[in-house]
Structure 1
Amino acid sequence: MQKAEEFSNRWGIVLASLGMAIGAGNLWRFPRLAGQYGGAFLILWILFLLIWSIPLLMAEFSIGKKYKLGVIGSYGQIGGRKFTWGGFFITLCTLGIAFYYSVVTGWALQYLGLSTQNLWAFISGGETIAKALSADPAYLDQYWNSISSGNTWTIILYILAVITGIVVLIKGIQNGLEKANKILIPSLFVLLIIITMMSLNMENGYKGLEYMFFIDVKHFTNATIWIEALSQSAWSTGAGWGLIMTISSYSRKREDVVLNTFIGGFGNNTASLMAGMAILPAVFALSASEGDAITYLQSGNQALTFTIIPKLFATVTGGAILSFIFFLAFFLAAFSSLLPMLELFISNLKDMGFSRKSAALRTAIFCIVFGFPSAYSLNVFNNQDWVWGIGLIISGLLLIVAVLRYGVSKFKRDYIDTDSDFNVPATYFAVALIFNAFLGVVLVYWWMSQGYSEYPWFNAEGNWNVFDVYSNASIVTQWGLVIIAGLLLNKYLYRIFVKNRS
């Protein structure tokens, strides 16, 4: 049974793909990595877009377009009766991200509110962030600590973000998601252009661009930059999330798989480059020295976005305007990515027979309930980010396995080449997927062997260290529970999402 809903035209699905891909990570994680490694990172990042992300996105897009079902149903169709649980894992993995990502959207609203107050204070001559910092240099650190754990307003705002997203999606694909993206995505690009121009016009701002695009060949011998480049491409483009599979299930019959995938992938990278060209010049222009600028850039994801950036913007005339624009763009990026995560759950519930409204309301309840622990505790947030962020690589591997079982050449002919005017060589697609199977295993092994926890498997007492934020035991336990649940429910999942929908 095919879904009656679909995007009105190509731009509808392109904007939805960009909204899915362009998220907080573009303005949050990419500038730090680009600033840390410069042009060497950019080269590898683009390389992995072509090797890892584009092939996976093409596979996802074509599967969703063909079967017009949610992730569980679509994956079950290509994976077969015994592997429907793979779609269940992909769905639960992305939902795990959606639960805490809604909190990021709440933080974005918190800082948008703070920057709005600061802009008004700047205009009216009131108490600005700059004045607060002069009285207390730890002001912004204290503010971040106050909202990141146990903060009532953070809880209220993440709930508000979820409810707003649900209100948009209840209206359907054309009247909800498509119309929202027609506002969100152009607005985001306009804001990025404005903040980039403002940053580049600052004194010494050009040094940020020089640093960003300078290629230091010594970095290529560092294994970490290769992993960082791959992970940034995989997580930023949404490859393996199941989101593009959900979006493409609403595509028109003759939608070009390859062309849309390339537009989405390179559009995401363009937004990341614009974010880097906005943030790095500002950091270099507002820092006391190049050494301080590099230190700021390497200070970590949350620190850079929520403490360093506002602090830097507060130090110059006009910084209040820059800060407001940045956090407005940050919120738009976060919210535009939250929408397809919510739609992924709605789509699966619709496959179970629920109406869109009923499915949307149930999605809201799930996200609010399961997002609460991350809103209340930063440790829970970091754990969920760690577990399901790495879990996306497992999702990508499951997708690769399904395509390999079907036959790469046959899959390309039956799924991708149909209705695609723009095409890619079969050898490229086959080699990329086979290489990615190896690459994904290496990536998971590398990440779990880094020793981010003092006791990765067992604690000092010899007990399974499941409650440690960054332990391997926590990762394996949560993955294992989802996989076991999927295996136990496999026959039910196949009957409900695949057999009954055929």
Structure 2
Amino acid sequence: MLADSSVDQRFGTRVGLLLSALGIAVGTGNIWRFPRIAAQSGGDEGAGALILAWIIFLLLWSVPLIIAEYMIGRKYRFGVIGSFVKGMGKRFAWMGAFVAFVATAIGFFYAVIVGWALYYFFQMLFFPLPVTNVESMAIWDGFQSSWWPFVMHFLAIAAGGLAIWKGVRSIEKVNKVLIPFLILIILAAVIRAISLPGSGQGIAYLFRIEWAQLKTPDVWLQALTQNAWDTGAGWGLFLSYAAYMHARHGTVKNAFITGFGNNIISLLMATMIFGTVFSVMQFGYGYADAEVLEVMKTSGPASTGLTFIWMPQLFERMSGGGILAVFFFLGLACAGFSSLMSMLELSTRALVDRGIKRNKAVLLIIAFVYLLGVPSAMSLNILSNQDFVWGLGLMVSGVFIASFCIKYGISRLKNETEFAPGDWKPGLWWEIPIRFFVPAAGVILLVWWMYLSVTQFAPEEWFNPLNPFSLMSVLLQWLAITGLFIVFNKQISKLYN
């Protein structure tokens, strides 16, 4: 029996719903991952081929899955696990538990990254910007060797807990302030970037299509991976928020607005970063185009190289760079925080559906996420491993969401959905990707990543579970969690029946 009135809450306005949905989609992946992937996947002439493939997969993977999550969440008014039990049947409770756990496990280390952004915001605000690479590395190393990662990790989670404390009402209020503020920061940063001398060269490279690149499988695979990462589609996050949607809140139009809004923000951030990096490195450091791209491709520890090592140095060489650095890391923290909120809400709703009062559920989740995030705060290798393991797990989650629709009946789910007046109705353009493309693409991506883990990531130690990028590390953690949920499937289903 439901024991908390928060489950009966609804989003007050469509604007509040859309801003909250954008909060799910817009995260650190838009700001630090997308520009790096664009540089790594670009050819000699440009990175536009990746953007083209990325937009195609937005329509084939992200938008169909977001629509499916909206339909499921609004129909059952439960979180992920409860919806799987009600819709797929008791035998598939373990699938819902897996989807919920993957999103929660990402929250373990994601909160650590949000803490990094918060720390750098204060670092840029109160201390001089680093002039050299040595100084920038010293800031990073000093931070990582201190207690600050644990403190900032806690602050990020505690703030997230406060944001979801009263359910969708507090979530909506926070996102109504946070997301417009983030968009203003991004627009201001883009305007400043395009005004820099030589920035046009970097922006032109970003959007120029080198058609031969479309023949490269890696471009398509990276485009699909980025879509799965930066939209939040298939994580179960939209499903959890959809439980609070009114019938008058459309599913299809909102899914398109969310997906395209997210990708527009990614393009704006890439424009800002490409413009800034090309301008400062060519005029300030005298780098050639190829050297600039090599810097942008640099991952650094836990993929931090461009964002936390290079960007502070680049801002130091710009007029007004100190202010820009402050707002850049504030924007990164806001983007990460809006996504972290949704991860905490997904986990909290799973407990609330079980009959636990929301305030108690929030406290339990905060403690759980903090404790299991501590290892990632202690070690970049552990964080990288968790990113690798559960990032791959998102592919499985997306396939499970599609499997829900297939098992329940795609046409049946569509026919039973009450579409809002003026909303679009999904046709074959939605049914075909859910039935065929999402399952096939998920399997292909998994096979590809497993192949890379054996041949590139850890070719000599793919069987060593202690290697953070080994295939065995992924398989053992997946099998442990999946096996646990399958063994206790009956008990899980009873909790949500």
- The TM tier, using the shorter chain, reads over 0.9
* Residue deviations 1:238-290 (CA, integer Å, cap 9, x gap): 01100000111111133211011111111101111110111110001001232
Output aligned runs, 1:112-191, within 5 Å.
Answer: 112-118=121-127, 121=128, 128-130=129-131, 133=132, 137-148=133-144, 150-174=145-169, 176-191=170-185
CA deviation after TM superposition for structure 1 residue 425, in Å = 4.7
The separation in 2 between residues aligned to 1:418 and 1:318, in whole angstroms, is: 49
Supply the AA of the counterpart residue of 2:27.
G
CA deviation after TM superposition for structure 1 residue 418, in Å = 3.3
Q: Residue 455 of structure 1 contacts residue 471 of structure 1 at CA under 8 Å; is this kept in 2?
A: no
Paired residue for 1:476?
Answer: 475
CA deviation after TM superposition for structure 1 residue 435, in Å = 1.7
Paired residue for 2:437?
Answer: 435
Paired residue for 1:487?
Answer: 486
Supply the AA of the counterpart residue of 1:246.
S
CA deviation after TM superposition for structure 1 residue 424, in Å = 4.7
Supply the AA of the counterpart residue of 1:404.
I
* Residue deviations 1:105-132 (CA, integer Å, cap 9, x gap): 11001111111124xx5xxxxxx422xx
The separation in 2 between residues aligned to 1:265 and 1:6, in whole angstroms, is: 22
CA deviation after TM superposition for structure 1 residue 456, in Å = 4.8
CA deviation after TM superposition for structure 1 residue 365, in Å = 0.5
CA deviation after TM superposition for structure 1 residue 164, in Å = 1.1
CA deviation after TM superposition for structure 1 residue 144, in Å = 2.0
Helix, strand or coil at the partner of 2:465: coil
Q: Residue 72 of structure 2 contacts residue 239 of structure 2 at CA under 8 Å; is this kept in 1?
A: yes
* Residue deviations 1:427-458 (CA, integer Å, cap 9, x gap): 11221121221111000000111131134543
Supply the AA of the counterpart residue of 2:258.
G
Q: Residue 191 of structure 1 contacts residue 326 of structure 1 at CA under 8 Å; is this kept in 2?
A: yes
CA deviation after TM superposition for structure 1 residue 352, in Å = 1.3
Paired residue for 1:453?
Answer: 458
Helix, strand or coil at the partner of 2:164: helix
Paired residue for 2:39?
Answer: 35
Q: Residue 22 of structure 1 contacts residue 237 of structure 1 at CA under 8 Å; is this kept in 2?
A: yes
The separation in 1 between residues aligned to 2:415 and 2:140, in whole angstroms, is: 51
Q: TM-score, normalised by structure 1?
A: 0.92
Helix, strand or coil at the partner of 2:422: coil
Paired residue for 1:246?
Answer: 240
Q: Residue 419 of structure 2 contacts residue 425 of structure 2 at CA under 8 Å; is this kept in 1?
A: no
CA deviation after TM superposition for structure 1 residue 141, in Å = 1.9
Q: Residue 28 of structure 2 contacts residue 335 of structure 2 at CA under 8 Å; is this kept in 1?
A: yes
Supply the AA of the counterpart residue of 1:244.
F
Supply the AA of the counterpart residue of 2:141.
N
Q: Residue 65 of structure 2 contacts residue 234 of structure 2 at CA under 8 Å; is this kept in 1?
A: yes
Q: Residue 90 of structure 1 contacts residue 242 of structure 1 at CA under 8 Å; is this kept in 2?
A: yes
CA RMSD of aligned residues (A): 1.5
* Residue deviations 1:183-204 (CA, integer Å, cap 9, x gap): 1100000000000011111100
User: What are structure 1's unaligned runs of at least 5 residues?
Assistant: 122-127, 459-464
Paired residue for 1:329?
Answer: 331
Q: Residue 40 of structure 1 contacts residue 215 of structure 1 at CA under 8 Å; is this kept in 2?
A: yes
Paired residue for 1:16?
Answer: 20
Q: Residue 70 of structure 1 contacts residue 351 of structure 1 at CA under 8 Å; is this kept in 2?
A: yes
Q: TM-score, normalised by structure 2?
A: 0.93
Q: Residue 182 of structure 2 contacts residue 334 of structure 2 at CA under 8 Å; is this kept in 1?
A: yes
Helix, strand or coil at the partner of 1:138: helix
Paired residue for 2:419?
Answer: 418
Paired residue for 1:78?
Answer: 87
Paired residue for 1:62?
Answer: 71
Q: Residue 350 of structure 1 contacts residue 356 of structure 1 at CA under 8 Å; is this kept in 2?
A: yes
Distance 1:403 1:369, change over 3 A: same
* Residue deviations 1:313-355 (CA, integer Å, cap 9, x gap): 1123322122112111111101111101110111001011111
CA deviation after TM superposition for structure 1 residue 292, in Å = 2.4
Q: Does 1:307 align with 2:312?
A: no
The separation in 2 between residues aligned to 1:471 and 1:402, in whole angstroms, is: 30
Between the aligned residues of both structures, percent identity stands at 35
CA deviation after TM superposition for structure 1 residue 486, in Å = 1.0
* Residue deviations 1:42-80 (CA, integer Å, cap 9, x gap): 101110000001111111111011111111001222221
CA deviation after TM superposition for structure 1 residue 34, in Å = 2.6
CA deviation after TM superposition for structure 1 residue 422, in Å = 2.6
The separation in 1 between residues aligned to 2:363 and 2:87, in whole angstroms, is: 29
* Residue deviations 1:134-158 (CA, integer Å, cap 9, x gap): xxx412123223334x530111011
Supply the AA of the counterpart residue of 2:20.
A
Paired residue for 1:44?
Answer: 53
Paired residue for 1:292?
Answer: 291
Matched residues, number:
476
* Residue deviations 1:288-320 (CA, integer Å, cap 9, x gap): 232222112111231011111111111233221
* Residue deviations 1:359-402 (CA, integer Å, cap 9, x gap): 00001100111010000111110000000000000001111111
Helix, strand or coil at the partner of 2:419: coil
